[in-house]
Chains A and B, each alone.
Chain A
Amino acid sequence: MTVHGYAQSEMSATEAESLRSKVQIAATNTQTISSDFTQYKHIDFLSNDIESKGTLTFEAPDKVKWEYSTPFSYSVIFKNKTLYINDEGNKNSMDLGSNKTFKQLNELITSSIRGDMFDAQRFTISYFTKDDRSVVHFLPKDEQFSEFIQVFHLTFNTKGEVEEVKMIEPSGDYTQIVFSNRILNQPLSDADFSH
């Protein structure tokens, strides 16, 4: 994986406000998203990141499906406030302990798409620019949650769309999810979120 060493600088209050409204407008105009993603799990003592790939499907206001296809088959669907898991054919299996993390991540993704993610009550938020992209850091204020994830970094492109999510654990290990081939507002059906 290539890590770009470009410096990032903190945004002014005006720039941050401008980003928030840009994300809000993009969100209002987004009903559905289909996107590929590549996930890099970085664990400090491993020689290589663990790489997995799949697709993300989103339908406003809050249906999300993460479907991993390589190197394993696994999907997790959030709909009707329920978490559905298909682990290589094992359906409805309990997802241990991570429900809260998944829910919060899901809320963060869906909120970012809807444009109301900038919740200062739940997160300490800081804004940066990095090349032509915007990077926003969300530090969870909930102590229990920050035991899992110390900080989320969301990277937005110039259109105000989420390009990358990085979840950094207190140990410094992190999960980075990079989106590609995004298709907006393509009609989706229930089958796209079937379990």
Chain B
Amino acid sequence: MPSKCIRIIPRLDIKGPNLVKGIQMEGLRVLGKPEDFAYQYYLDGADELLFIDVVASLYGRNNIVEIVERIAERIFIPLTVGGGIRTLKDFYSVLRAGADKVALNTAAINNPSIIRDAAKNFGSQCVVISIEAKKNDEGYYEAYTDNGRERTGVDVFEWAKRVCDLGAGEIMVTAVDRDGTGQGYDTRLVEKLSKNLPIPVIAAGGAGKPEHIVDVINTANVDAIAAASIFHYYYVLSINKETKEFEEGNLSFLTSIKKGDLSHLLIPEPVGIKNLKDILKKVNIYCRV
């Protein structure tokens, strides 16, 4: 009897018109156009896609709603959108654009009742609570907001229980200290959360090689894994071969990569989605093929 089918979710951080990626959620580098990466991930067997607007400019120029709208025209897997969503009207805007779920962090911390209202209006399955967790000096895991910049004083495990009670459909937990470092997931954090919660848990932050993904699945009882750099860096050269120009942002990273300089990648073993699933299958992890 197969156990649950693990979802592989590429996470695409977006700033303006660009796909970006930081290290420990800081120092954003431009990697290309989100549309190109999203479509490639869809073709290669991604189970869902997650888009986070890292500057939370929902209605600004080149906003994420427009990007998602374009992506949803030709991609038929679940799409989750987060970053800057504060009201039920914002929820409706992104669902209308083609998203299936909305990821909330700051808005939920500031106003937890939005979880209940959103679940009631759009269904629990729409509401993904994103928790940015960081072990603080007092030795407990504290929830952060604003891409790991702002402390909240809220205990991660208490917060997770509370959002379940309020009607959240899923929880994504990002270990802020691991994000973009390629050092592996914080499996203890994820395991403790997942075992104590009745709703699905998505592990995020830290995947640097396929082994890290195998580890978190085997030890932490997760339902899904989200990862960014490990996928982006695998595809970045082939995807940008065709693309001629980019607008905005610091392009030096992209330029150096195009010149073949991979020295500052940090990610030990980038992997394609198909290859990753082959690896998972070999160690008897059940996933969609």
Q: Is this pair of chains taken from one and the same complex?
A: no
Task: List residues of B whose CB falls within 8 A of some A CB.
Answer: none
Task: List residues of A whose CB falls within 8 A of some B CB.
Answer: none
